[in-house]
Structures are given as structure tokens and as C-alpha cells.
Structure 1
Amino acid sequence: MIEVARYLSVNRIAYFSMEVGIRQEMHTYSGGLGLLAGDAARSAADLDLPMVFVTLASREGSIKQQIDADGNQIDGPDPWNPEEWATPVGAMVAVQIEGRQVWIRPWLYELKSARGPQVPVLLLDTNVPENDPRDRIITNRLYFGDQKDRIKQEVVLGVGGVRVLRALGFTIDTYHLNEGHAAFLSLALLDHHRLNRIPGIPEPFDYDVHAVREKCVFTTHTPVEAGHDRFSYDDVRAIVGDLIELDQLKLLAGPDHLNMTQLALNLSRYANGVARRHAETAQKMFPAYPIRTVTNGAHVPTWMHPAIADLFKTLAPHWAYELEDLLKADQVPDEALWAAHQQAKRELVDLVRDTTGVAMDPDVPVIGFARRMTGYKRPDLLFHDIERLRAIAGRRPFQVVMAGKAHPRDFEGKAMIRSIHAHMRSIKDIPMAFLPNYSIAIAKRLVAGSDVWLNNPVPPLEASGTSGMKAAFNGVLNFSVLDGWWLEGWVEGVTGWSIGSDGSDPSPEAHAAAMYAKLESTVLPLYHEDRARWIWMMKQTIAKIGAVFNSARMMRRYATEAYLRA
């Protein structure tokens, strides 16, 4: 265990997440939750925080997306080899699943900051020869299978993760549960905190719940009811047995189903939402628990295009670790910023041509839209009124680039992808493209090379959203419904524009009408007719958003408000 020995005396905070977006070649992420965790790890390394990250190895990734001629998403595995990027750690632990002993091997990936510090990322893998073939596949595919498969994965993450840390010699003071997927770890901790009962004195719990609560903090990411895992107690007992007695578990996780969010809330001393509006929504969903706010952030050095980053090096050599220096964006010469942006845009145009065959003009504005393809995010809203859209483009041309995956069982999301492709085929006078198999590499091209970043979910169902932050780091202007983080970052006509107003009619008809009106009257005229003002707004968005909505600020807040205790 020499690989982890250097961390044992300092890593007091363990961050558990089903997915962590570490790098393009390691398919250990599905979408925004994993990319956020990856940015948290990068900033933890930058700040030299005493942390260890725990996730699943996910050897077959999540989804490798292909699009057929009719616009149908074809799902497949997206394999990678842990052997090429991580080191096997010389210890294995076991958990009980369906009465079988399931062995878990951890892999170590050391995520290094350019400043020098690094944080360990442990990847949990059940694909080992000692396991039954049924169990070797548990950690292979992220979010794959049915509810029973999900229970198995979450037990490996939560219970297995705690046991791995103990076996390796880590002493953990604080466990951070990134979403409810990790809540089984709290049961593993409970098992080590049994109370010595006094005969004849009734107590609700046989465990020291307070001791476990003192160790756990919990971040909830979804205001969508269906996004909170609920499992049948019969399935849980059949798969994992009695981690704790059923009557005790029901007191913590709900009387009818095991609600992973309720379990996490009951066994955490601190809980937060990921934007102010999301925390308000979560507080209404869980009124018995105080929900704080730590607004998400993204890792600026990762997501800012190198050509734009180079401009700041001349102003402030250490800007990447002193992000307040982004407030100096107004000192960047207009011509230099525009040239750097056009370089990023040409790279996006080249990617679109090489991937889809669609030719785009770098002198015409590009509207970018990329996120998980699902109903509440309304990826097809732009096409609500095709004739209106074409009329707007006829007066002031624009181009559209989209990307995103639907979950294999999200048939509504898949139908939206099919509909978007049908619209793109039918609209001949507006250059449009859909980039398949959305990934970190594609995201970097899109958030840097677009001119306008479009976001139009149904409010208040956007928890936070970080893609718009990444776009803003590159001077790309946000055009978004007032939800999630944008309610905090939006300054009309300065950092971008709103679609509708806060609390206005959220119907697709109302939001589409507001989007078309502002696109036609404000956004496109500014790009085509007042380049100086457009560049001024680019500088404003880099300064006002980059200096605030970054993962360094996020991790500092977690460290001082959630991890440290009086």
C-alpha cells in the first residue's frame, strides 16, 4: 500500500460520488454531477485540501452515443482500461450482496495540480477474478440496469468505500455525500457506533446517530422528484441483508421505501443545495431539514481556452490560482480578446465540419446548447416556431451547434434528439449541427467557441448548471431562463440576457416567444452592429462570472462552512 502511504496522515475529508469526471480518457462520468465532482477534485488539489475522492471504476463508462440517419440515439458501452491510467492498490475489501461475498479492488489515480499538490482518487472495482461472474459486472457500467443493479452499485460505493478507506489506513473526520447515491456510507458508519443499551429504558435507536451525523455532510443536486433514489425495502434486504435492523432503518429512511435522500439528510449535520434558488426549492421539498446554499462553480484553468488564458498571464502571472485577477479583464485589449475568441471559434467550426460535414462561417454568430437531453431541460424549445426562427435568421444570420446524451431509459429525451435532428434536416437556410457523444473534449470546444450559450429549462427544475459558467470563462454570453446559478450571475445586458423574467409564465409558448423576441431585437443586432459593445460584454462576463462562479470559491466555502467544525 505504498501508493497511498503519503496521504494517510493528511486526508481527513472523503468525498463520495457515483461519478467523477477526471479526464477525457477515463469514462468515469455521465454528465454534470461527475464533471462538478472532477472540478471539486481539481480545486481541492490547487488549494491543497486534505481530501480523498471515492467513486466507481465504471470500466464500460456510461453511454457511447451514436446517431443514426433518422436521428435515433444508439446506446452502447464506452469502455476504458483502468490499467492505463491508475494503479491497483494492494488491498481488497468485501461486502455482502445477495448472500455472496463481493470483493472490491481500489485503483488509485493521483490528480495533480499545476501548483504541485495532488489529491488521491480511489476507483472501486468489482471486476476481479475472486468474484462470481454476476458480481464482476456491478461496477462496470455507470447507472446501468434496474433498481436492483442501482442498489448493488450504491452499496459498493457507500459501504465498500468506507471499508476501503479503513483498510488502507485513512482516518476520516468528514464524509461528503455528493448526492444521495452515497447514503449507504452512513449505514456503514452506524454499524461502528452501536450504543450500549440500558435494559428497561426504551430508546428509538440502537446506534449513536449523533456521532454519525457529526461526520457527514450532504449535497443534494436535483429538484426533480424522480431524481431521488427510492428503493423497496424487500429489494434492499434481499441484496444487502440487514446493514442495520429494518425498524431502525425505517426511522431514518422512510416508512414505505428506502429514500436515499432522506437517509442522507437524517444522518448529516450539514446539507446544502447547489444554488440559492435550488436551496429554496429543496427546502420546500424537505421542510424538516435546514438546507444551506453553496452555489456550484467550475475549474477555470480547465475550461478556459488556452488562447484566452494566455491573455491573462501577461496581466497577472498567477491568475489561475488567484482568480480575483479575472476582474482585470477590462485591461485586455479588444483586438486581442476577439482574436483569441475567433481562434476558439475556428476550432469549433473545424470540429463541426469534421464530425458532421456541416460547414459553418466563423464570422457568423454561433448559438451553443449542450447538456443532458431530457424533458425538463427543453432542448427542442429553440424549434418551437420554425417559421419565426427562419425569419429572424433571414434578417440577421446565426448558426446553431447542439450536443447531449439521453439516458438509455429516457425515451422522452431520445424522442427530443430525434425531433431536433428532423428539424435540422428540414431547415436548410440556417447552418445547424448536432455533435454526437458529448464528452469533456467536445464540451471544451463548445463552451469556448460559441458566441451565445442558450439554456431554457423549466424553472425551478434547474438545480444549478455549470456549462454556462464554463462558457462565461471564455467570454461567451449567456442567454438563459432565470433559474439555477444564472439568477445569481445574470446582469441584463452586461453578463448576458434573460429569457423571460423571474416568476413569469414558464410555459413553452411564453418562453419561446420571449427567446425569439430578445434574439431578434437585442442579441443578434448587438453582435452584427456593435462589435465594441459585444466585446465589452465579453470582458464583463469573464470578470463578473469567472471571479465568482469558480470551483475554488466553492471548495473554500465547503471547507469553512461544511467541513470545519467549531
Structure 2
Amino acid sequence: MLHRFVHQERIAYFTMEVALRNEISTYSGGLGVLAGDTVRSAADLELPLVTVSLVSRQGYFRQSLDAEGRQIEHPDPWEPARFAQPLPAKVSVPIEGRVVWVAAWLYVLESHRGGRQPVILLDTSLPENAEPDRAITDYLYGGDPTYRLKQEAVLGIGGVRMLYALGFRVRQFHMNEGHSALLTLELLERYAYPPEDVRPGELRYDIPRVRELCNFTTHTPVEAGHDRFPYDLVQRVLGDFVDLPTLKQLAGAGELNMTQLALSMSEYINGVAKRHAETSRRMFPGYQVRAVTNGVHPFAWTAPPLAKLYDAHVPGWCHEPELLVRAECCIGDEAIWAAHREAKAALLDKVATLSGVRLDADTAMLGFARRMTAYKRPELLFSDLERLASIATNHRIQIVLAGKAHPRDEGGKRAIEQLHRHIRALSGRVRVVFLPNYDMALALLMVSGVDVWVNTPLRPLEASGTSGMKAALNGVPSLSVLDGWWVEGRIEGITGWAIGDDDGPGERDAESLYDKLERVVLPLYYENRAGWIAVMKGAIAKNGSVFNSHRMMRRYATDAYIR
């Protein structure tokens, strides 16, 4: 099967995580889901990509919650042989003075339109490796900094070597976040000048040539999101492979900053929303950071009732999602409402199954589901429980929550516990349910089944955010802080509503959230059905038609790949 993919030049898309399907636990959250949507759109559009990631045999983790809301992490293993085929190549990577062998699996992502994309999953679980080295590719984002650096060496260095060993012809390399930035060091070695051509004091590497080959997408303005490694650790792990003086020029004098290395070695750099690109240019002065706003895959993130509706009234929408702009005029109000009610019923059934709580189909439902961490501010909706209960007295509301905290994010875990305390405090006044083990399947049910999608990040720390884009595809409007993609997508009262202002520290965001709910959103929902459906249609026509991964991939093709 491999021979089908190596006959033409491809863009090598490197990502630490990628959401291929719900049963394959090679993703943790938004970054991986975005990577999966990238590959899905490349398959639909028949763009020549080859994706490189880690096999992550033990996955991220499966979440359960005790009665107090304490997160319990369970292994979430998957068996590669069920979904992928082994490839006939092995490459080596130098780690701690040892030769670590890397094998690979081929997963073929197949589009509903018939397109196919190769995904290479790197694997060190081999009998020829020492026991600790076999586990390097086991745990997504697991272990200490040493483990993470070994993983990133396998991804970056091993990934390049594997592609060439398999016979791929690579036109360019696209780094999805900085985890794979060590691939640039492997390319520097491949494009080093002959020793006789290097004058004393000059670098022996053809840096401009490597830069021409590399693209870099940065995804986070949060400092913790940028991997850093002390140089003594780098030397211990990578040894003589690293030209330390050159690396310090490219990646920072004090420590190896993977984002800095990717920035230094990429000709094309982009943020994932216009606002995020502005923030990134302030964070990384001297670099031209462009903006390609993220998108979500239309077919994957539209619930079946809505997809059936679009098929009937906007044929071709899932390949040309810009056609959804016709939703406002081509789809009747009753048809939209009936499709939404069907999606809502599916979510209500899932809530009952997971929690034992039966929510009401006729009550407005708010949804919030994100990675649980401090800057996402999951507690903002519950800042004033009495105010929230008062709003619910006049306008019935119910709330569905979900999300995982990183195993080492104690603040995120405490936030989940605090949410459960709020749930208990509101018992009998506002029905609130927290659903465990948020994954792709649960996400689709939530973004299509709730009535309003709530998002409350602390500005300007939301790089893009894609959950609201998924909701928009399903006719669910957002009530969100003006950050990330929502700065571009919000048309007040047309596609949804803003929380707070477009600038400032966000101190009044909770008050703004409550005011908007009480005075605008809920009265419209209960008292003006035609007005509410108009906003649903606005979300589809003006957000769903634009904020999709087909548009995103076409931008990457024209702006980054063809140059």
C-alpha cells in the first residue's frame, strides 16, 4: 500500500498528537483534533500530505471522576495492529550514547469522498531496544523532561530519517507546534557544506536552504506551552549529534527553546487566528508571523441530523463548505429547529447514560467543554451562584460540562473539583451535569446538542479555539469572550454574543456573562423562536461557511506550500 503514496512530492506534516478516530488515543485535545482535521481536509481536497506522529500505544488517559469530582487517570491503550500496518523500515536515533531503533506503522486516513492520506506513526517498542527505550513512544505527554526530550528526538530526527528511508519525496516540512523542531537539526546535517568549503569561523550548515524547506505553526501564547530543555540535558540525551554552539545561536543561549528553534529555522511562520498572530509578533519580535485562522472538518463535526438537512438543501456543502452561506435563505425555520431537536435528544440520552440525570428537551441548555486549566476559566460561569440561580428562576437553564485536566496540572484538577462543589450547591435550583472522559464522540454530541456554546478564556491567552467553530457548523451560537477566532467570527446578535469587551483585563467578564444571558440570550430563546432560529442560521451561514479546515488548508496551500 505504501507505494501509492511515495510517487509524488508531499508536504511532511509533523505533529506530536493527531486525532485519527475516537478509538485511537493518539490525541489529548485541541492540538491533536486540529491535526486530525488537517489530515481529513487534505484527504478530501487530495492535497499531497504525509503526516508523522508517535504511536502513543498507551494513549493519553481515560478520565473517571469520584463523588467529589476528583479526576482519576486510567491507561487508555490501543493496539496499532488493529488499525495500521507495519512498515518495512527501521531507522536509528542516538539517545544517551545508545542506538535507539525506530519502526513505523502506516495508518491510511480515508475520506468519505474517497481520498486517502498516509499517517506514519513512529514506534520504539522493539526487541532490539533496551527496555526503557521501548517505552519512549508509549505515553502521550507523559514522563519527565528527559522522557519528553527523547520523544521529541524520535519525532523530529527519527521522523525525517523514516520518511527518507521509506522513499518519500518531501517538498516541505510543516511543524505543528514546536515539539518536532529537532527535525531542523537533522535537515541541517543533511544539507551541511563539505568541510573543504567552510572557511574558519563560518557555520558549516546551509541554513537558508533548510529554512526554505520549513513551515511552522505556533499554537499557544501561554508560556507553559513552549517546551524548554536545559543544555546539559540536551547534551546528555543527544550527545555528539548536537552542534551546541550552533544550536545556542538558533534556539536560545540559556536553554533549548523548541519554539525559538522552529522560528529560527522556518521561512513561513503563522499563528492560528488574526489576534493570535498579533500576540505572537509581540512575543517573538523580529519574526514575520502571518495568520491562518484554524478551522474544523465539516463532515466530521456536523451531527447526522444537520448533515442530512444540508445534503437536502445545500448539496456539496461538505466539500465546498462556503456554500453554507446559503443556509439563511435555503433552509426553512422548522427544518432547522427539528434537526437541532434531534441532535439535542441524542445528547440528552448520552447525559442520562453517563450521569443518570434526565435533562429537559424544552429547557435552554448551555454547554462548556474545554481542557480544564486556569486560563480557560471554567469557573467564570459559576462566579456568583446566587445570580446564576436567580437567572434560572426567571428563565430555565441547564448546563452540561466536560473536560480533562493534564495529569500534572493540579490547578486544572482543582477546578474540576470546584465545579462539582458548585453543582452540589446549585442542586434543586439549576441542573448542572459534568460528563466524564471528554473525547471526540462526546464532543460531537455536545457541540450539536446544546443550545448555547459558552467559552470564557482569559484574554489574550486563547490562541484560536475550535469548539465554537464546531458548534457553529451545527447551528449552535456562541456566547464567548472576544479572543482567538471569536474576534473574527462574532457578529453581535447575528452569529452569537460577546462576553465583555475587546480589550482590558476581563475583570467584568462574569458580570457581562450574566447580563447577556439574562437580558439578551435567554429572552430571545424563550420569547422569539423566529429570532433565535435566525441566529442559528447566522452561525451556520457566517461562521460554518468560513471557519472550516477546507478553507484553512487552501490557505496553507497557497500561502505556505506553493512558494
Q: TM-score, normalised by structure 1?
A: 0.98
Q: Which residue of 2 aligns with 1:148?
A: 146
Distance between the aligned counterparts of 2:446 and 2:531, measured in 1? 22
Is the 8 Å Cα contact of residues 274 and 463 (structure 1) preserved in structure 2?
Answer: yes
SS at match of 1:214: helix
Q: Quick check: 1:332 aligned with 2:331? A: yes
Displacement after TM superposition at 1:344 (Å): 0.5
**Where does the alignment leave 5 or more consecutive residues of structure 2 unmatched?**
none
Identify the match of residue 82 of structure 2 among 81, 84, 91: 84
Is the 8 Å Cα contact of residues 365 and 398 (structure 2) preserved in structure 1?
Answer: yes
Which letter maps to 2:166?
L
Displacement after TM superposition at 1:203 (Å): 4.2
Displacement after TM superposition at 1:315 (Å): 2.1
Structural RMSD (CA)? 1.1
Is the 8 Å Cα contact of residues 16 and 177 (structure 1) preserved in structure 2?
Answer: yes
Alpha-carbon displacement from aligned partner over 1:220-256 (angstroms, at most 9, x marks no partner): 0000112111101111111111323111111111101
Q: Could you tell me the percent identity over the aligned residues? A: 56
Displacement after TM superposition at 1:197 (Å): 4.8
SS at match of 2:62: coil
Q: Which residue of 1 aligns with 2:191?
A: 193
Which letter maps to 1:453?
W
Q: Which residue of 2 aligns with 1:96?
A: 94
Aligned positions of 1:80-479 closer than 5 A: 80-197=78-195, 201-330=199-328, 331-428=330-427, 429-479=429-479
Displacement after TM superposition at 1:504 (Å): 3.5
Displacement after TM superposition at 1:350 (Å): 0.8
Distance between the aligned counterparts of 1:98 and 1:169, measured in 2? 28
Displacement after TM superposition at 1:11 (Å): 4.0
Displacement after TM superposition at 1:31 (Å): 0.4
Call closer, same or farther: CA 1:530–1:92 in 2, change over 3 Å.
same
Q: Which residue of 1 aligns with 2:541?
A: 543
Displacement after TM superposition at 1:555 (Å): 0.4
Which letter maps to 1:377?
K
Q: Is 321-330 or 411-420 further displaced after alignment?
A: 321-330
Alpha-carbon displacement from aligned partner over 1:203-226 (angstroms, at most 9, x marks no partner): 442211111101000000000112
Q: TM-score, normalised by structure 2?
A: 0.98
Which letter maps to 1:113?
S
Distance between the aligned counterparts of 2:58 and 2:442, measured in 1? 19
SS at match of 1:300: coil
Alpha-carbon displacement from aligned partner over 1:390-439 (angstroms, at most 9, x marks no partner): 00001101000010000011000000000001110121111111111110
Distance between the aligned counterparts of 1:115 and 1:46, measured in 2? 6
Distance between the aligned counterparts of 2:171 and 2:352, measured in 1? 51
Is the 8 Å Cα contact of residues 314 and 327 (structure 2) preserved in structure 1?
Answer: no
Is the 8 Å Cα contact of residues 198 and 204 (structure 2) preserved in structure 1?
Answer: no
Distance between the aligned counterparts of 1:9 and 1:191, measured in 2? 25
Which letter maps to 2:40?
R
Distance between the aligned counterparts of 2:196 and 2:274, measured in 1? 45
Distance between the aligned counterparts of 1:203 and 1:502, measured in 2? 50
Which letter maps to 1:396?
H
Q: Which residue of 2 aligns with 1:51?
A: 49
Which letter maps to 1:479?
L
Is the 8 Å Cα contact of residues 272 and 293 (structure 1) preserved in structure 2?
Answer: yes
Which letter maps to 1:292?
R
Alpha-carbon displacement from aligned partner over 1:100-146 (angstroms, at most 9, x marks no partner): 11111110111111222211001111112221110111111100011
Displacement after TM superposition at 1:282 (Å): 0.4
SS at match of 1:66: strand
Distance between the aligned counterparts of 1:9 and 1:125, measured in 2? 24
Call closer, same or farther: CA 1:341–1:200 in 2, change over 3 Å.
closer
Say how many residue pairs are matched.
Answer: 561
Distance between the aligned counterparts of 1:495 and 1:412, measured in 2? 33
SS at match of 2:523: helix
Q: Quick check: 1:495 aligned with 2:495? A: yes
Call closer, same or farther: CA 1:55–1:434 in 2, change over 3 Å.
same
Alpha-carbon displacement from aligned partner over 1:484-537 (angstroms, at most 9, x marks no partner): 000000000000000011013412xx1101100110000011101111110111
Call closer, same or farther: CA 1:361–1:11 in 2, change over 3 Å.
farther
